[in-house]
Amino acid sequence: MQYPEPNDAAAPPPADVVAAFDVEAMGEAYVLTASTYHVLDLADRVWVTSGPLANLLPGLSGTPVYAVSIPASYDGLGATGSERALVTTTAGQTYAFDHMTGTRRWRADRVESCCPASSWAAAGAPSFSDIRAAWFDSNNMRRLYPHHTPLCAAAGGAGTEFAYYALLASPSLHYLESTHCMEFAPPINSTDREPFGGTRVGPGSPLEPNPASVGAMFYHETDRTIWTFTP
């Protein structure tokens, strides 16, 4: 579990962070404000570059609400063999960008609705306006997905390795099972689960972020850590 407190102020975000995603191959994260991006070296926790958001991810309509990182190895969502970022904005659209390997450049792929309409209509779905942050886990190797009962017939007898989205709509965490069902599991209190509480981080721990203050999150698959950004 890591809660970054970068030790270099070369190019820190000048305003509230609204979304973030990482690039596994580069060991870097992209932290977004409403109008700028800031690249963080995850090993050294140093801000390495920044610039206008429109230069990095052209064509966004609205302000980013949350983003998720899609590993190159994940074969869902029409992955092209390069790492992918999905950025959802206040306009209710999700924009897909493919990373140009070995660079800090991104290629726009497509625009789509946030999620299937049937998923958002389900009882366990969050209200879009309440979402503060999200992460995507392509295999659940960290076993952070909290539900063990299959959500649909297609998942019957499935093992523990599957993809899911976690969306923070404080005070709740909502989990969208994304391999078999594309359905939301029943929401749970965010303070009962990592990274806000649970087995690794207990209530009152100095490492426990306040879910009401979180502006962005991402899951770093390389070392199975959740990163959070708060004021």
Range of the domain at 203: 19-229
Question: What's residue 200's pLDDT?
Answer: 55
User: Does the residue 221 lie in any domain?
Assistant: yes
Question: What's residue 230's pLDDT?
Answer: 85
Which structure tokens are listed for 130?
């309440």
Give CA–CA dist 160/182, Å, rounded.
Answer: 16
User: Does the residue 78 lie in any domain?
Assistant: yes
Q: Which residues of 47-59 are buried (b: 16+ CB within 10 A; e: fewer)?
A: beebeebeebbee
pTM: 0.88
> Which of 38, 2, 5, 1 has the alpha carbon at shortest distance from 21?
38
Contacts of 172 (CB under 8 A, 6+ apart): 126, 187, 188, 189, 190
How many domains does the chain divide into? 1
Q: ω before 58 within 30° of 0 (cis)?
A: no
* Percent of the chain with pLDDT strictly greater than 70: 83
Give CA–CA dist 8/183, Å, rounded.
Answer: 41
DSSP character for 224?
T
User: Does the residue 1 lie in any domain?
Assistant: no
Question: What's residue 4's pLDDT?
Answer: 47
Type and span of the H or E element at 176: strand 172-177
User: Does the residue 72 lie in any domain?
Assistant: yes
User: Does the residue 6 lie in any domain?
Assistant: no
User: Please, which residues bridge with residue 84 across strands?
Assistant: 70, 98
Give CA–CA dist 156/151, Å, rounded.
Answer: 8
Q: ω before 171 within 30° of 0 (cis)?
A: yes
Chain centroid, CA 187 distance in Å: 17
User: Does the residue 119 lie in any domain?
Assistant: yes
User: Please, which residues bridge with residue 28 across strands?
Assistant: 23, 41
Give CA–CA dist 71/76, Å, rounded.
Answer: 10
Question: What's residue 150's pLDDT?
Answer: 72
The segments of the chain whose pLDDT lies below 70 read 1-11, 75-80, 114-116, 155-159, 198-208
pLDDT tens per residue across span 90-119: 998 999 999 999 999 999 988 877 666 777
User: Does the residue 2 lie in any domain?
Assistant: no
Give CA–CA dist 138/111, Å, rounded.
Answer: 21
Q: What is the CATH number of the domain that holds 205?
A: 2.110.10
User: Does the residue 48 lie in any domain?
Assistant: yes
